[in-house]
Amino acid sequence: MLGFVLAAAISSINQGTQFDWRLTFEKSNFLRTGRYEESLNFCRQLARVSDKCTVYEIGVSPENRPMVVVVLSNDTDALNPNGRTKPLLFIENGIHSGEIEGKDATLILARRIIRPAGAPQEPDLSSLLDKVNIAFIPVFSVDAHERMSPYNRANQNGPIEMGWRATSENFNLNRDFTKADAVEMQNLLPFLSKVKPDFFIDNHTTDGGDWQYTVQYDVPIYPTMASQTAAISKQYVDSVIPKVEQDGFLCAPYFGGFDDRRPDRGITLSSFGPRYSTGYQAVRNRPSLLVETHVLKPYAPRVWGTYSANLRTIEWMGQNAEALLTANAEADADASAMKEGDELALTARNTGKSRPYVFKGFKFEPYKSDISGNEIPHWTTEKVDHQTVIRDELEAAMVVKLPAGYLVPGYLWPVIQRLKWHGIQCDPVNEQMVGKTVRMKVQMFTDIKLGASTFEGRLMPQFQLIEVERDIPISAGSVVVPIGQPLARLAANLLETSAPDGFASWGFFNGYFESKEYAEAYAMEPIAKKMLAEDPQLKSEFEEKLKDPAFANNPGARLNFFFERSKWFDQRYRICPVYRLTSEELKTLSN
């Protein structure tokens, strides 16, 4: 079934009556969270006692822990994306394992849906599965979850012990959705690509100052998205957020911070690119919810606030199943119709336009520190409503004209492997063309700047691009990525050279910035002489250059002027190795 290992042993012998269904969270007066083993045992036991629960192993972590996805469904084909009549929700917990309320909230939801014998007296949520199928990952960053300590998040108000933010390899998984460097991400992406969830939730905890809101949310409604996805996302927010508030959890959009010294400055919202979970779903044409419960609230209301946001989302999906499935299908169909010359926004920016907003904060009473010598932020418990503004309007920023497709050479196997994990259509290049060359317009990196430090282990370059012509050899194993496909947005965000979360920007092609061959002065001198004699145009160009004293006084640069224009110069130097194709080229290179 979909190529995943069915890890759940369905046993009719053990009905689980002896199993203690209460979580550490519940047994500790809501002060603690359990270890990963508790989640695994809980989910596997649910699968043993109910055929509505299945546990899939999607791989192992770098520290060799099993990674599991749990599916709750009345159906046998919940994961099949074709001809779906019930939408599939995917809930991601513990991408930052110190922010773990999603795990406890989801396990309680699962227990209330499955209702195993011996479970506590609690609300019956089994009817949710009449209209929705649910998949969840109890803990995504599993090794980090087991790096448990009371000292992992200095700002956070419980649980007493919690996991760590980054993986064993020190990756922040919520920056890894496009580059997919982490093993955990490499395990999850193929699963998501195969099952194609219709809605995605990512559960977190905030950092930052103090305010009244328990739940902050971000639901991408960006100009970079399919219009259908943006429209259904807007309907979702308008319907679901008031319900979470009715459950007793004051909600606000997820903002970076609030300046209590200058409340009139208000709050500004930004957008999340595809390196982030919800930004990634946005370019896959799917609505999503980022839950950020407030770091200074105790653990219990944070778990219940997460529970409410997740539960109300499931209910909304059931009530709006047809509209959601239609929006997703139409967004995919529109992307499949994209073609050469169409414009696509890769990034969004805030317009700066504001509207009135009441910010529900606390009285700010900073004090002077003897230790730092500076003012330390401090809030009392007195509620203060600031009449201020919110800037929440976004507009397209970086817009590209799409090619008909992309050619990815076979030797760029780390790129091709990632495209496959992402589920992007990659067609093998026409075999008749292998070994031949195609003259095409390609992009050359210029003005390359490399930062002094790494980000997520990568040196991210900045560069300009110019267009040049080259004879491109077609190598074995190359693939053609047509732009007209459901994942057109994701493909462009990965393969466009200027895309901020694309392979070029993540430094996959930094090696091509280097020149690997050179000519000694004694070799270049006679070649330069010959070139000058044969090409009067070149001669006048050289003489013009000599008027620049810096050039004239640099013997190396003078010889290099000829080397760069000679047949000995590396034709691949600083050429982006992913090629944007015209319709004509796409046709020639496709089968």
Chain residues binding Zn ion by CB under 5 A are 96, 99, 204
Tell me how far, at minimum, the Cβ of 98 lies from Zn ion, in Å: 8
Tell me how far, at minimum, the Cβ of 140 lies from Zn ion, in Å: 11
When the beta carbons of 204 and 297 are compared against Zn ion, the nearer one is 204
When the beta carbons of 96 and 386 are compared against Zn ion, the nearer one is 96
CB < 8 Å & 24+ apart, contacts of 26-31: 26/108, 26/120, 28/160, 30/298, 30/299, 30/300, 30/303, 31/158, 31/159, 31/160, 31/299, 31/300
Tell me how far, at minimum, the Cβ of 252 lies from Zn ion, in Å: 16
When the beta carbons of 99 and 501 are compared against Zn ion, the nearer one is 99
Between the alpha carbon of residue 28 and those of residues 32, 41, 118, 392, the distances in Å are: 6, 18, 19, 40
Q: What angle do CA 16, 18, 19 make, to 5 degrees?
A: 65
Tell me how far, at minimum, the Cβ of 92 lies from Zn ion, in Å: 11
Contact 34, 24 (CB under 8 A): yes
- The SS3 call for residue 61 is coil
Helix, strand, coil tally for the chain in percent (to 5): 35, 25, 45
Tell me how far, at minimum, the Cβ of 204 lies from Zn ion, in Å: 4
Tell me how far, at minimum, the Cβ of 206 lies from Zn ion, in Å: 8
Tell me how far, at minimum, the Cβ of 192 lies from Zn ion, in Å: 19
Q: Could you write out the DSSP letters of every residue in 451-488? A: -SS-BTTB--EEEEEEEEEEEEE--TT-EEEES-STTH
Q: What angle do CA 326, 288, 487 make, to 5 degrees?
A: 60
When the beta carbons of 181 and 292 are compared against Zn ion, the nearer one is 292
Token code pair at residue 539: 């001669």
- The SS3 call for residue 320 is coil
In angstroms, rounded to a whole number, what is the distance separating the alpha carbons of residues 285 and 139? 25
Q: Could you write out the DSSP letters of every residue in 89-158? A: EEEE--SSTTS-HHHHHHHHHHHHHH--TTPPS----GGGGGT-EEEEES-SSHHHHHS-BTTS-TT---
Tell me how far, at minimum, the Cβ of 99 lies from Zn ion, in Å: 5
User: What are the phi and psi torsion angles at 580 (to 5°)?
Assistant: -80, 130
Tell me how far, at minimum, the Cβ of 109 lies from Zn ion, in Å: 20
Contact 204, 175 (CB under 8 A): no
Contact 510, 504 (CB under 8 A): no
What spatial distance separates the first Cα and last Cα of the chain, rounded to whole Å?
30
When the beta carbons of 201 and 324 are compared against Zn ion, the nearer one is 201
Task: Give how far the C-alpha of residue 197 lies from the chain's centroid of Cα atoms, to the nearest Å.
Answer: 15
Tell me how far, at minimum, the Cβ of 384 lies from Zn ion, in Å: 27
Tell me how far, at minimum, the Cβ of 238 lies from Zn ion, in Å: 25
Q: What angle do CA 420, 464, 543 make, to 5 degrees?
A: 135
Tell me how far, at minimum, the Cβ of 280 lies from Zn ion, in Å: 15
Contact 58, 68 (CB under 8 A): yes
When the beta carbons of 114 and 295 are compared against Zn ion, the nearer one is 295
When the beta carbons of 146 and 292 are compared against Zn ion, the nearer one is 292
When the beta carbons of 291 and 344 are compared against Zn ion, the nearer one is 291
- The SS3 call for residue 579 is strand
Residue 186 burial class via C-beta count within 10 angstroms: exposed 0-12, middle 13-18, buried 19 and up: middle
When the beta carbons of 52 and 96 are compared against Zn ion, the nearer one is 96
